[in-house]
Amino acid sequence: QKGMDIRPQIAGRPTGVLHGLTSNFHIFLASPTWKRELEALSVEDKVAAMGRPDIRAALLSEDSPLIRAATSAPVGGQVAGLDGLLWRIFPLGERPNYEPDREGSVAGMAEAAGVSPVEMMYDLLLRDGGKELFYQPLGGYQTYNFDFFRKNMQHPNVLFGLSDGGAHCGVIADAGMPTFILTHWARDRVKGEQFPLEFLVRKLTSDTARAYGLNDRGRIAPGLLADLNVIDFDALRLFRPEAIHDLPAGGRRLVQRAEGYRYTVKSGQVTFENGQHTGALPGGLVRGGREAVILPLAAE
C-alpha cells in the first residue's frame, strides 16, 4: 500500500531432507546396535553388516530416539506415527522423481509388498550398494502434487529462490534446483500443467538479475555481460545426489550432478564444457547493483 516493491521467493519444489546411508540422517541412526556395531563402518561395510539377520532383527526391534520422535511427529496436522510419516518419504532412485505418487512412498511400497513400512525402509536403504536416498518434503506433501507451487510460481512478483544449496549440506541437496525447474516444469511434469520454457528461462535469468539491480546481465543484448548457458534441453537431467568428502577434516556434503549443459560462458569465456571445468575464472566479487552499458547495434 505504501508503494514498496515486495518480492516473495518460492522454490520450484519443497525443500526436503534426504535420508540414507550416505547422508547424515536415517531413522536407525540412534539405535543402540547402530551406534555400537555400525556407526564407524564404511558404507560398504554397513551394507554388508545390515544384510546379517541378527543385525536386521536388532535394528528393527530396538527402541530408537529417532523412531520415537518420528512416531510423535505431526503429519498433515495430525500425529500419525512413524508409519504415517513414511507415507511422505520417497526413494529417489537413479533418476529422481520429486513429484511422486502416494504409492511410490516407502509406506505405499510396503503396503504393496505386504511388509511393514519400517522393514521396507530398511531394505531400501541397502539398495544400489547403500547409495539410495529418500526425499522427505518439508512442509508436507498432503496432495501428492505441486499444484500449490505452480499457482504461486506464476505470480509476476515472485522470484524463484529458497533452494538450500549450501547449508545443511549433509541432509539437503537443492543446488540443482534451477535444473529441476527447467526439466520438471517445462518438459517432464505429468501430474498437472507445465510452464513454457521461455517463461522459466526469463524467471531464472533476467527477472532475478533485475530484482537485485544486476542490470548488466540476465539478457542477451549488446553491452551486457556475455553470461550464457548452452543447453541440450532434450538431454538435460539430474542424477541422484551423492556424498563426497571434500570439506575440512573430511567432512561430508551431498552434491547433485547434472548433464546436458554443453557450455557455460561467463563474460565471454567458457568456464565449463560438457560439465568439465576449463580452468577459466573470469568472475569476480559484485558489490551492489550494476547498470548496463547499452551499445548501439552495428549497421548492416
Alpha-carbon distances, residue 235 vs 122, 228, 230, 232 (angstroms): 33, 18, 12, 5
- What whole-number distance in Å separates Cα of residue 67 and Cα of residue 220? 52
Of 110, 118, 99, which is closest to residue 19 (Cα–Cα)?
118
Per domain, the residue ranges of the chain are: 9-29+64-277
Q: pLDDT means per 10 residues in the chain (300 residues)?
A: 89 92 93 95 97 96 71 51 84 96 96 94 96 90 92 93 77 93 98 97 95 92 94 98 93 94 97 96 87 62
pLDDT of residue 300: 44
Report pTM.
Answer: 0.89
- What whole-number distance in Å separates Cα of residue 249 and Cα of residue 204? 35
Sheet holding 269-273, edge to edge: 228-231, 261-266, 269-273, 276-277
Angle at 191 between CA 189 and CA 197, to 5 degrees: 30
Sequence-ordered alpha helix ranges (H) in 14-116: 32-33, 43-50, 53-61, 65-71, 81-85, 106-113
